[in-house]
Amino acid sequence: MRILEVNDLDAGYEDLQVLWEVNMRVERGEIVSLLGSNGAGKTTTLRVIAGLIRPFRGKIVLKGREITGLPSHQRVALGLSLVPEGRQLFPMMTVMENLEMGAYTPRAREKLEDSLEWVFSLFPILRERRNQLAGTMSGGEQQMLSIGRALMSRPELLALDEPSMGLAPKLVIEIFRTLERMRKDGVTILLAEQNVKAALDISDRAYVLETGRIVIEGASSELALRDDVRRAYLGM
């Protein structure tokens, strides 16, 4: 069953167009990668999907319902969450308070205790750090908190914007393993990444953006074998 559909999307900032006729789909239960080098338009795509900016043209469909004009907070209530670029935590709140804010929608608040246990089981370090101010944590811990906070809203579809950014390779592996566990727990994942190798390793399908257009799409295992992908993104 299709959870997300992006149709003929044009988007950008003011009069600068960044995305051109972007088409994507995500099926329930998948991990889908959105790949591309710096400036390709990954963040812009996720911002449009999450409702942080309005597209110039095109349609976003979530669970069969068009959400193109819906404000971001209503999308969260419908089960779509974003782990944004740069984590965007509440720096002067504790880990616990950040997680509680993650369960802001009424639907999520009912399951608060349950969700906390779930997030702590995925990221045990957050339980240890629960009384620490978010702004004082290391980059890796902040990334885990940002993902944990998004999970607190009980998303059916979780979009992540470069969770590996700035993290040591060991931590990247740890976080990507956790993404696989989240998928087993029923969360569909749309993963924007520059770390092409790690993303292709865990995803089922992938889209490649170049200067705002989708230039390659297909099964991740096949993309990993393609010469053009290997040369351009895997340094081989």
In angstroms, the CA 75 to CA 35 distance is: 23
163 touches ligand ADP (CB under 6 A): no
In angstroms, the CA 187 to CA 153 distance is: 12
Tokens 């029923």 correspond to: 186
Element (H, E) at 104: none
> Contact with Mg ion (CB under 5 A): which of 35, 36, 40, 43?
43
**Contacts for 99 with CB less than 8 Å, ≥ 6 apart:** 116, 119, 126, 130, 145, 148, 149, 152
Element (H, E) at 217: strand 213-219
205 touches other proteins (CB under 8 A): no
In angstroms, the CA 95 to CA 111 distance is: 18
Q: Which is nearer to other proteins, 100 or 193 (CB)?
A: 100
Tokens 């984590």 correspond to: 87
Minimal distance, residue 161 CB to Mg ion, in Å: 6
Conformation bin of residue 105: beta by default, left when phi > 0, alpha when psi is -120 to 50: beta
216 touches other proteins (CB under 8 A): no
59 touches ligand ADP (CB under 6 A): no
Chain residues 23-62 in contact with other proteins, contact rule CB under 8 A: 50-52
203 touches Mg ion (CB under 5 A): no
Tokens 């509440």 correspond to: 90
Q: Which is nearer to other proteins, 143 or 203 (CB)?
A: 143
41 touches ligand ADP (CB under 6 A): yes
Q: Which stretch binds ligand ADP (CB under 6 A): 12-20, 61-69, 147-155, 166-174?
A: 12-20
**Beta-strand relationship, 188-193 and 31-35:** parallel
Q: Report what 236 binds from ligand ADP, other proteins, Mg ion, none; CB cut-off 5-8 Å by kind.
A: none
Minimal distance, residue 146 CB to other proteins, in Å: 8
Interface contacts to ligand ADP, rule CB under 6 A:
13, 16, 18, 36, 38-44
Residues near other proteins (CB under 8 A):
14, 50-52, 71-73, 76-77, 81-84, 86-93, 97, 100-102, 104-105, 108, 134-135, 142, 149-150, 152-153
